Amino acid sequence: MLTAEQNDLLTQVTPGTPMGNLMRRYWQPIAAASEMDHVWTRRVRLLGEDLVLFKDRQNRLGLIKEQCPHRRVSFAHGIPTQNGIRCPYHGWEFNAKGKCLEQPNEPDNPAFREKVTTDAYPVQEMGGMLFAYLGPLPAPLLPKFDGFVEPGTIRMMGRSVLPVNWLQVMENSLDPVHTEWLHGHHYEFLQEQQGIKVAISAHHEKIDFKEFEFGITKHRLLTGQSEDSDDWRTGHPIIFPNILAVGNGNGDEAARYYSFQMRVPVDNETTMHLWYNAYVPPKNGEVPAHLLNTVHVYDVPFKDEKGEFIVDNVDGQDMMAWISQGTIANRATENLGSSDKGVAMYRRVLKREMKKVEQGEDPMGVLRDPQRDHRIDLPNEKKKHHNSDGFASFLLRTHAKYSQVAPDIVMLFDPDRVQFDAQGKVQLRTMKPATASMY
Q: How many Cα atoms are found within 13 Å in the side-chain-facing hemisphere of 324? A: 13
Residue 402's φ and ψ, nearest 5 degrees, are: -85, -5
**Under the criterion CB under 6 A, does residue 89 sit at the interface with ligand FES?**
yes
* Contact call for residues 231 and 438 (beta carbons, < 8 A): yes
Which option in Fe ion, ligand FES, none does residue 87 bind, with CB closer than 5 to 8 A by kind? Answer: ligand FES
d(CA 435, CA 360): 47
Instruction: Return contacts of 187-192, CB within 8 angstroms, 24+ apart.
Output: 187/311, 187/317, 187/433, 187/436, 190/311, 190/312
Q: Shortest Cβ distance from residue 36 to ligand FES (Å)?
A: 22
* Contact call for residues 188 and 202 (beta carbons, < 8 A): no
Q: Which is nearer to ligand FES, 103 or 225 (CB)?
A: 103
Q: Which is nearer to ligand FES, 75 or 209 (CB)?
A: 75
Which option in ligand FES, Fe ion, none does residue 70 bind, with CB closer than 5 to 8 A by kind? Answer: ligand FES
Q: Which is nearer to Fe ion, 12 or 172 (CB)?
A: 172
Q: Which is nearer to Fe ion, 145 or 439 (CB)?
A: 439
What 3-state DSSP class applies to 415? helix
What 3-state DSSP class applies to 135? coil
Q: Shortest Cβ distance from residue 103 to ligand FES (Å)?
A: 8
Q: Shortest Cβ distance from residue 298 to ligand FES (Å)?
A: 35
- For residues 295-354, which are near Fe ion according to CB under 5 A? 318
> Within 10 A of 23 (CB to CB), how many other CB atoms are there?
23
d(CA 366, CA 313): 34
d(CA 99, CA 83): 11
Inter-CA distances, 301 with 158, 308, 406, Å: 10, 11, 16
Q: Which is nearer to Fe ion, 240 or 439 (CB)?
A: 439
**Under the criterion CB under 6 A, does residue 90 sit at the interface with ligand FES?**
yes
- The H-assigned helical ranges of 93-160 are 110-115, 146-149
Q: Shortest Cβ distance from residue 91 to ligand FES (Å)?
A: 6
d(CA 144, CA 377): 9
Q: Shortest Cβ distance from residue 67 to ligand FES (Å)?
A: 8
Q: Which is nearer to ligand FES, 84 or 135 (CB)?
A: 84
d(CA 220, CA 236): 10
Closest CA to 275 of 260, 290, 286, 264: 260
Q: Which is nearer to Fe ion, 174 or 354 (CB)?
A: 174
The binder of ligand FES chosen from 87, 202, 278, 300 (CB under 6 A): 87
The binder of ligand FES chosen from 26, 27, 92, 209 (CB under 6 A): 92
d(CA 307, CA 225): 40
Q: Shortest Cβ distance from residue 195 to Fe ion (Å)?
A: 26
Which option in Fe ion, ligand FES, none does residue 90 bind, with CB closer than 5 to 8 A by kind? Answer: ligand FES
Rg (CA), the chain: 23
Q: Which is nearer to ligand FES, 73 or 287 (CB)?
A: 73
Considering only 84-92, 194-202, 345-353, 366-374, which stretch makes contact with ligand FES by CB under 6 A? 84-92
Q: Shortest Cβ distance from residue 259 to ligand FES (Å)?
A: 42
Show the site string, 350-379: x = touches ligand FES by CB under 6 A, - = not: ------------------------------
Q: Which is nearer to ligand FES, 93 or 180 (CB)?
A: 93
**Under the criterion CB under 6 A, does residue 70 sit at the interface with ligand FES?**
yes
d(CA 257, CA 41): 32
Q: Which is nearer to Fe ion, 150 or 318 (CB)?
A: 318
Show the site string, 373-412: x = touches ligand FES by CB under 6 A, - = not: ----------------------------------------
* Contact call for residues 156 and 297 (beta carbons, < 8 A): yes
- Site residues for Fe ion per CB under 5 A: 318, 439
- Site residues for ligand FES per CB under 6 A: 68, 70-71, 73, 87, 89-90, 92
